[in-house]
Amino acid sequence: MTVRVTRIGLWLVATALIALVAVWMLLPVFVSSEFVRTALERELADITGQEIRVEGRVDVDLFPAPIARLYDVHVPSDPAGGGDAPGDFLIVDSVEVSIPVAGLMARDLEFSQFKLVRPTMRVRVDDHGRVDFAAIGGRLGREIERVRRETEPAQNTENNAEVPARSSPYARFGTVAVDNGIVEFIGPDSENPERITAVNGIVAWPRLDERLTASLEGIWRGTAFTLRTEVDNAVRFFARQIVGVRQSFSSDMMNYAFDGKLGVGSAPFAEGKVTLAMPSPRQALNWLGVGIRTGNAVGSIDLSGTLRGDAKKIRFEDLSVKLQGNAGTGVLELAFMDEGRPSVTATLDFAEIDIIGYLAALTGLPRTRDALSDPISKDVLGQLDVDLRLSAGNATAAGLRLTNVATVTQIRKGGANFELPDATAYGGRVQAHFKLMPEQGTLKGALGVSLSDVDGAAAADALQLTGLFPRGMTTGRLDIHAPMVQWSDLFKRANGSLALHVAGGKLDGVTYKTFGDGSESRTFFRLKDSSQAGEAFDKLDIKSLVQDGVIIIEEGTIGYSGGTVQLNGVIPYGTASIALTTIAEQSGETENRKPSIQHFIGGSWDNPYATPVLLPPEQP
């Protein structure tokens, strides 16, 4: 019995194999190149809505699987659909199509798998860069129009509920593979269209009312990229309605991912999770061509959060951001003003931030002393409005370390205002402001710094300052302003005032004996080479004016235990030089009181020299 069953099974398998071979042998009877050409032209014409021209030959390969190849395929532009420019909408070197065996046998071919080899597609876009897919015509255009007609009445209902689009009998599409394609986006006034080259990948869209998935790679503006997209009920998306979208984009310039709801209609809408990373925002913005310039070199930016936006405003909530490696959290809002200038509002909290770094990005402020001679770029200041409020546990500014920092940065109408209303530094408090304001066609800069009980020695070490810099508990205020063309003008052309009070400090290489003891008649000596170590003074007070970049000391005193040294003179900022005179007066009313001695201090700030101007008469 078992042997008999085995024999029957073998006969059935053999019969099936013979039938299969017979079918393959009979396929040439059912197919011809002309039959396939006609069916494909009809199918492609229905998809595109245009008459298809196959100007090359048609080849049909039946083994190992039925495939048709059409060479030199043209889809003409449709003037009624906006394709009034000369040239075809689509040109393909060859189209490979899988032929369904069942359709061949039934003499009713339906195609669902296409491969476009070296296609060139020209897409018309409007002034806003959008594509009207309904104007394309064909199966897709008809479906889009049908969806719009079915959902427009619902948009006027009281609850504005979404109405699901019903499937039509012609809603199938298929899978399209692209091999080395080119896509051109042609605007109304574009003589040089945007081009995406080396396009390779697959677009799978079984039915027009189902999910579209795409995995593509290409080269845009000289940079290779990879794009992956999933669009739920894609026909509604192309009908400019809101649907679920998942998308990722990666390149050397930027990486981006979105997961949420998206609509690109007359009232654009987006809501979902988003991540964005730019190794160099300056390069990325230039590559995107958005018309926004950063200032000086800006480090990497990474952000992630919840996005909600429309045509007027994009808001990031629960935002995690990393600027130049410094992590922060907060809220950011990007609005588009009626005059077209974008507006950025943000409240962010960082663990640590580089103050000079982000001011350089927003205003172009130089990050090094050598770059202070660079001109100020009005374009950077006038391209967008900014209201940025930052707080940080720690911050750096030109080598200084600050803690518990709160800042406000505002840029409007070509001017900038930076406020540091509160921070702690080296045991004391620091407040500062920096302004660039347009005035009669030029820029006027202002800088104010207020110190309270700051350890001047620690601050000097952080700034790597040497020479005649007082090292002690420092309180003071600087207020200067100047017309500005270059960044250095804020100091070289400055006018204002400077007041300084230092308690319990010292000046390196300076004691009261340096200027107040006439027992040694030294006609010329450098303070660095002075045999006297720095002597602690009780207090140092300076009141000065700033005129045209020169600090003019009106009142200056250094109080030592042995006497007082009076200071006056000038300190030109532009040359880093000094020209001071000192008068030393011994304290007390003793009989051995020595006469006052006057010295001149010159040279450079970090390496000054001194020489007596008036020596006391020799004692008998």
527-564 residue pLDDT tens: 776 545 678 889 999 999 999 989 999 999 999 888 88
Strands (E), 162-220: 172-186, 194-207, 212-220
With 0-12 / 13-18 / 19 or more C-beta atoms within 10 angstroms meaning exposed / middle / buried, residue 365 is buried
3-state secondary structure of 366: coil
pLDDT at 230: 95
Note whether 494 and 480 are within 8 A (CB): yes
With 0-12 / 13-18 / 19 or more C-beta atoms within 10 angstroms meaning exposed / middle / buried, residue 560 is buried
List the structure tokens of 23.
Answer: 């079918």
DSSP string computed for 81-138: GT--SSSEEEEEEEEEEEPPHHHHHHT-----EEEEEEEEEEEE--TTS---GGGG-H
> Which residues in the chain come in under a pLDDT of 50?
19-20, 22-26, 29, 79-85, 105-106, 156-167, 170, 531, 619-620
Give the pLDDT confidence of 241-259 residue by residue, as tens digits: 899 999 999 999 999 999 9
Among 63, 240, 79, 219, which Cα is nearest to 144's? Answer: 240
pLDDT at 229: 95
pLDDT at 161: 44
Residue type for position 43? E
pTM of structure: 0.75
With 0-12 / 13-18 / 19 or more C-beta atoms within 10 angstroms meaning exposed / middle / buried, residue 64 is exposed
Strands (E), 294-427: 301-310, 313-323, 326-336, 342-354, 385-397, 400-412, 415-425
pLDDT at 592: 61
Question: What Cα–Cα distance (Å) separates residue 423 from each residue in 431, 461, 464, 502, 589?
Answer: 7, 19, 21, 20, 46
pLDDT at 397: 87
pLDDT at 141: 79
Strands 67-76 and 53-54: antiparallel
Torsion sign (Cα): 344, 347, 351, 355: positive
Note whether 536 and 508 are within 8 A (CB): no
pLDDT at 615: 54
Residue listed under structure tokens 């080296």: 426
